[in-house]
Amino acid sequence: MTLPTDAAEATALTAGTEPVTRPAPKKPRLIGTTSWYVVAIFICAVMIVPLLWMITIGLKSRTAVFDIPPKLLPHEWTWSNFVNGPKAIRFPRLFLNSMIITALSVLGGVLTAMMAGYALARLRFPGRKVWFYLFVGSMLLPGVVGLIPLFQLYKSIGWYDTWLPLIVPAFLGGNPLFIFLARQYFLAIPYSIDEAAKIDGAGHLRIFVSVMLPLTRPAWLTMAILAFQASWNDYLNPLVYLYSSGKWPLSVGMASFVSPFAGKTPDWSYYMATNLLYMLPPLIIFFAAQRYFIQGLGALGSTNQK
Amino acid sequence: MSRNAGSDVKAAYLFIAPAMLGFFVFVGYPLVRSFYLALTKYNGLTDPVFVGLGNFRRLFTTDPAFWPALRATGYLVVLYVPLSLILGLALAMFCNQRFAGVRVVRTLAYLPVVLPAVATITLWKFMLDPQVGLLNTILDRLGLPTSLWLQGSGTSMPSVVLVMLWGVGGTMIIFLAALQSVPTELYEAARVDGASPWSVFFRITLPMISPIVLLQVILQTTAALQTFNQPKILTNGGPGFSTNVLMLSIYNNGFPTLGRIPQLGYASAQVWVLFVIIIAVIALTAKFSSLWTYSDTSD
Q: Which amino acid is at B98?
A: R
Q: Are A141 and A175 in contact (CB under 8 A)?
A: no
**A66: contact with B, CB 8 A cutoff:** yes
Q: Which of B113, B118, B124, B233 is nearest to A254 (CA)?
A: B118
CB proximity under 8 Å: A 271-300 to B:
271-272, 275, 278-279, 282-283, 285-286, 290, 293-294, 297-298, 300
**Which tens digit of pLDDT belongs to each residue from A72-101?**
788 788 888 898 888 888 999 999 999 999
**Which tens digit of pLDDT belongs to each residue from A2-59?**
333 333 333 333 333 334 333 444 344 555 778 888 999 999 999 999 999 999 988 9
Q: What is the pLDDT of residue B156?
A: 95
| Torsion sign over Cα A235, B76, B78, A144 | positive
Close Cβ partners of B76 (under 8 Å, ≥ 6 residues apart):
B157, B160, B161, B224, B227, B243, B245
Tell me which of B3, B16, B198 to substitute to probe the interface with A (most A C-beta atoms closer than 10 Å). B16
**A160: contact with B, CB 8 A cutoff:** no
**Which tens digit of pLDDT belongs to each residue from B67-113?**
999 999 999 999 999 999 999 999 999 998 888 888 889 989 999 99
Determine whether the interchain pair A66/B132 forms a contact, defined as Cβ–Cβ distance below 8 Å.
yes
Q: A214 vs chain B: nearest CA distance in angstroms?
A: 18
Q: A187 vs chain B: nearest CA distance in angstroms?
A: 15
Give, rounded to a whole angstrom, the gap between the first and last alpha carbons of chain B. Answer: 45
Q: Which amino acid is at B284?
A: L
Determine whether the interchain pair B201/A1 forms a contact, defined as Cβ–Cβ distance below 8 Å.
yes
Name the average pLDDT for chain A.
82
Determine whether the interchain pair B19/A40 forms a contact, defined as Cβ–Cβ distance below 8 Å.
no
**A2: contact with B, CB 8 A cutoff:** yes
* β-bridge mates for residue B41, sequence order: B49
Q: Which of A258, A252, A256, A226 is nearest to A238 (CA)?
A: A252
Determine whether the interchain pair B119/A173 forms a contact, defined as Cβ–Cβ distance below 8 Å.
no
Mean pLDDT, to the nearest integer, of B146-168? 93
Q: A88 vs chain B: nearest CA distance in angstroms?
A: 16
**pLDDT grade, residue B224 (50/70/90)?**
very high
Q: What is the pLDDT of residue A25?
A: 40
**pLDDT grade, residue A142 (50/70/90)?**
confident
**A130: contact with B, CB 8 A cutoff:** no
Determine whether the interchain pair B201/A3 forms a contact, defined as Cβ–Cβ distance below 8 Å.
yes
B187: chain A residues, CB-CB within 8 Å: 4, 7-8, 11
**Distance, CA of A22 to CA of A275 (rounded, Å):** 50
Q: Which of A226, A227, A255, A261 is nearest to A102 (CA)?
A: A227
A10: chain B residues, CB-CB within 8 Å: 97-99
DSSP A69: S
Q: What is the pLDDT of residue A5?
A: 37
Q: What is the pLDDT of residue B172?
A: 93
Q: Following DSSP, what letter does each residue of chain B receive, concatenated?
A: ----HHHHHHHHHHHHHHHHHHHIIIIIHHHHHHHHHHTEE--SSSPPEE-TTHHHHIIIII-TTHHHHHHHHHHHHHHHHHHHHHHHHHHHHHHTS--TTHHHHHHHHHHHHHS-HHHHHHHHHHHT-TTT-HHHHHHHHTT-----GGGSTTTHHHHHHHHHHTTTHHHHHHHHHHHHTS-HHHHHHHHHTT--HHHHIIIIIHHHHHHHHHHHHHHHHHHHHT--HHHHHHTTT-STTTT--HHHHHHHHHS-STTPPP-HHHHHHHHHHHHHHHHHHHHHHHHHHHHHS--TT--
CB proximity under 8 Å: A 19-48 to B:
33, 36-37, 39-40, 43-44, 46-48
* Residue A136 pLDDT > 50: yes
Close Cβ partners of A160 (under 8 Å, ≥ 6 residues apart):
A151, A154, A241, A243
**pLDDT grade, residue A304 (50/70/90)?**
very low
**pLDDT grade, residue A306 (50/70/90)?**
very low
B30: chain A residues, CB-CB within 8 Å: 145-146, 149-150
Determine whether the interchain pair A69/B140 forms a contact, defined as Cβ–Cβ distance below 8 Å.
yes
**Which tens digit of pLDDT belongs to each residue from A147-205?**
999 999 999 999 999 999 999 999 998 889 999 999 998 998 898 888 888 888 888 89
Q: B232 vs chain A: nearest CA distance in angstroms?
A: 10
Give, rounded to a whole angstrom, the gap between the first and last alpha carbons of chain A. Answer: 29
Close Cβ partners of A258 (under 8 Å, ≥ 6 residues apart):
A266, A268, A271, B122, B125, B233
Interface size A-B, in CB pairs within 8 Å, comes to: 302
Determine whether the interchain pair B8/A53 forms a contact, defined as Cβ–Cβ distance below 8 Å.
no
**Distance, CA of B135 to CA of B285 (rounded, Å):** 37
B248: chain A residues, CB-CB within 8 Å: none
**Distance, CA of B186 to CA of B168 (rounded, Å):** 28
Q: B121 vs chain A: nearest CA distance in angstroms?
A: 9
Q: A236 vs chain B: nearest CA distance in angstroms?
A: 7
A301: chain B residues, CB-CB within 8 Å: 173-174, 176-178, 181, 212
* Residue B146 pLDDT > 90: no
**Which tens digit of pLDDT belongs to each residue from A221-279?**
889 988 999 999 999 999 999 999 899 999 999 998 877 555 567 788 888 999 999 99
Instruction: Point out the residue among A12, A257, A258 whose CB comes nearest to the CB of B188.
Output: A12
Determine whether the interchain pair B11/A39 forms a contact, defined as Cβ–Cβ distance below 8 Å.
no
Buried b (16+ CB within 10 A) or exposed e, A159-172: bbeebebbbbbbbb
Determine whether the interchain pair B118/A251 forms a contact, defined as Cβ–Cβ distance below 8 Å.
yes
Q: What's the predicted TM-score (pTM) here? A: 0.86
Q: What is the pLDDT of residue A22?
A: 39
**Distance, CA of B235 to CA of A284 (rounded, Å):** 30
**A8: contact with B, CB 8 A cutoff:** yes
| Torsion sign over Cα A276, A279, A284, A287 | negative
Helix residue ranges, H only, A71-161: 81-88, 91-122, 128-138, 144-156
**A16: contact with B, CB 8 A cutoff:** no
A203-to-A183, A200, A207, A211, B126 alpha-carbon distances in Å: 20, 9, 6, 11, 58
Q: What is the pLDDT of residue A256?
A: 87
Determine whether the interchain pair B278/A240 forms a contact, defined as Cβ–Cβ distance below 8 Å.
no
**Which tens digit of pLDDT belongs to each residue from B18-70?**
999 999 999 999 999 999 999 999 988 888 999 999 999 999 999 988 999 99
Rg (CA), chain B: 24
Q: What is the pLDDT of residue B51?
A: 93
Instruction: Point out the residue among B131, B176, B190 whose CB comes nearest to the CB of A8.
Output: B190
Q: Which of A279, A253, A249, A257 is nearest to A97 (CA)?
A: A249
Determine whether the interchain pair A125/B30 forms a contact, defined as Cβ–Cβ distance below 8 Å.
no
**Which tens digit of pLDDT belongs to each residue from B230-267?**
999 999 988 989 999 999 999 999 988 767 888 999 99
**Distance, CA of A117 to CA of A114 (rounded, Å):** 5
**Which tens digit of pLDDT belongs to each residue from B173-186?**
999 988 988 888 88
Q: Which of B70, B91, B285 is nearest to B171 (CA)?
A: B91
* Residue B3 pLDDT > 60: no
CB atoms within 10 A of CB B130: 15
Determine whether the interchain pair A44/B105 forms a contact, defined as Cβ–Cβ distance below 8 Å.
yes
Angle of CA points A78, A83, A88, to nearest 5°: 110
If you measure CA to CA, which chain B residue comes closest to A33?
A: B99
**A304: contact with B, CB 8 A cutoff:** yes
